[in-house]
Amino acid sequence: MPAVNTAHTPIASPRPVTRRPGRMWDRALAYWMMSYRRVWRGSIISGFLSPLLFLVAIGIGLGSLVDDGPAGGIEGISYLMFLAPGILAAQAMQTAISESTFPVLGAMKWQRQYHAMTAAPLGIADIVLGHLAFIAFRLTITSTTFVVIATAFGAIESWWVVLAVPVAILTGLAFAAPVFAYAARQEGPSGFSMLFRFVMLPLFLFSGTFFPVDQLPVVLEVIAKFTPLWHSVELCRGLALETLSLLPALGHLAYLLAWLALGITLAMRGFRAKLVV
Amino acid sequence: MGTAQRVSRMMPFPAGAGMARALVERNVRAYKHAWTTLVSGFFEPVFYLFSLGVGMGALIGDIDAGNGRMVAYASFVAPALMAAAAMNGAVMDSTFNLFFKLKYAKLYDSVLATPLGPRDVAVGEISWALIRGGLYSTVFLLVAAVAGVVESWWAVLALPAAVLIGFAFAAVGMAATTFMRSWQDFEYINLTILPMFLFSATFFPLSAYPAALQWVVQATPLYHGAAMIRALMLGDVGASLLVHVIYLLVMGMIGAVFAARRIERLLLT
Amino acid sequence: MTLRAFEATDAPLISARGLTKRFGDFVAVDGIDLDVHRGEAFGFLGPNGAGKSSTMRMIGCVSPPSDGSLRILGLDPGADGSRIRSRLGVVPQRDTLDEELTVRENILVYGRYFGLSKAVVRERAAELLEFAQLADRADSVVEPLSGGMKRRLTIARSLVNEPELLLLDEPTTGLDPQARHVLWDRLFRLKRSGVTLVLTTHYMDEAEQLCDRLVVMDGGAIVAEGSPRQLIAEHSTREVLELRFAVDDHAPYQAKVADLARRIEVLPDRLLLYVDDGDAAAAAVHDRGLTPLSVLVRRSTLEDVFLHLTGRTLID
Same domain? C293 vs C212: no
Band (pLDDT 50/70/90 cuts) for residue A10 is low
Strand partners, B70: B64
Give the pLDDT confidence score for residue C6 in this predicted structure: 64
pLDDT band at A2 (very low <50, low <70, confident <90, very high): very low
Residue A2 located in a structural domain: no
- pLDDT tens-digit map of C213-244: 999 999 999 999 999 989 988 888 989 999 99
Contact A93, A200 (CB under 8 A): yes
Residues C217 and C256 in one domain: no
C183 pLDDT tier (thresholds 50, 70, 90)? confident
Give the model's pLDDT for residue A177.
Answer: 98
Segment A55-79, tens digit of pLDDT: 999 999 999 999 988 777 787 899 9
Domain check: are C176 and C277 in the same one? Answer: no
Instruction: List the single residue in A41, A62, A190 with the smallest CB-CB distance to B56.
Output: A62
The rounded distance, in Å, linking the Cα atoms of C261 and C240 is 9
Specify if C268 maps to a domain.
yes
Chains touching A by CB (3 or more pairs below 8 Å): B, C
- Report in angstroms the alpha-carbon separations of C58 from A140, C12, C161: 54, 16, 20
- The rounded percent of chain C whose pLDDT value lies above 90 is 54
Spell out which residues of chain A touch residue B199, defining contact as CB-CB under 8 Å: 53, 57, 61
Q: Number of structural domains, chain A?
A: 1
* Contact assessment for residue A35 and residue A117, using Cβ atoms and an 8 Å cutoff: no
Residue C232 lies in a domain: no
Pair (C13, C63) in one structural domain: yes
**Is there a domain that residue C316 lies in?**
no
Cα distance between residue B138 and residue B151, in whole Å:
16
Instruction: Name which of B97, B101, B110 to mutate to probe chain C: the one with the most chain C Cβ atoms within 10 A of its Cβ.
Output: B110
CA atoms of B155 and B17, how far apart (whole Å): 33
Residue C261 belongs to a domain with what CATH number?
3.30.70
The count of domains in chain C is: 2
Measured distance CA(C70)–CA(C16) in Å, rounded: 4
Are residues C292 and C187 part of one domain? no
What pLDDT does B19 receive? 84
On average, the pLDDT of chain A sits at 89
Is A18 within a domain?
Answer: no
Put simply, whether A3 touches C (Cβ < 8 Å) is yes
C246, part of any domain = yes
Length of chain C: 316
- In degrees, rounded to 5, the angle at the alpha carbon of residue C81 between the alpha carbons of residues C80 and C87 is 100
Would you tell me how many other CB atoms lie within 10 Å of the CB of residue B126?
Answer: 31
Q: Do B47 and A41 touch (CB under 8 A)?
A: no
> Is residue A148 less than 8 Å (CB to CB) from chain B?
no
Using the Cβ of C114 and the Cβ atoms of chain B, whether some distance falls under 8 Å is answered with yes
ipTM: 0.85
Are the CB atoms for C189 and C111 separated by under 8 Å?
no
Chain A interface includes B207 (CB < 8 A): no
- C308 in a structural domain: no
Which residues span the domain enclosing B145?
2-267
Domain limits at A265? 25-30+45-275
pLDDT in tens, C24-72: 999 999 999 999 999 999 999 988 888 999 999 999 998 999 999 999 9
My answer on whether C91 and C154 are in the same domain is yes
Q: Round to whole Å and give the CA distance between A48 and A88.
A: 11
Residues C276, C159 share a domain: no
Chain C interface, best mutation among A1, A4, A5, A187, by max C CB count within 10 A: A1
Could you tell me if B34 lies within 8 Å of chain C, comparing CB atoms?
yes
Q: Give pLDDT, residue A16.
A: 79
| Cα–Cα nearest to B91, from B40, B28, B167 | B167
CA C309 to chain CA mean position, Å: 16
Domain range holding C243? 237-299
Residues C47 and C167 placed together within one structural domain of the fold? yes
- Does residue C314 fall inside a structural domain? no
Q: Give the count of domains, chain B.
A: 1
- Interchain CB contact of C118 with B (< 8 Å): no
Higher pLDDT, A39 or A166: A166
| A10 within some domain | no
Helices (H), B93-117: 98-99, 107-111
* Interface touch C90/B115, C-beta < 8 Å: no
pLDDT at B250: 97
* Residue C281 within a domain: yes
* Phi, psi for C66 (deg, rounded to 5): -80, -25
Q: Chain B within 8 Å of A193 (Cβ-Cβ)?
A: yes
- Residue B85 in this model has a pLDDT that exceeds 90: yes
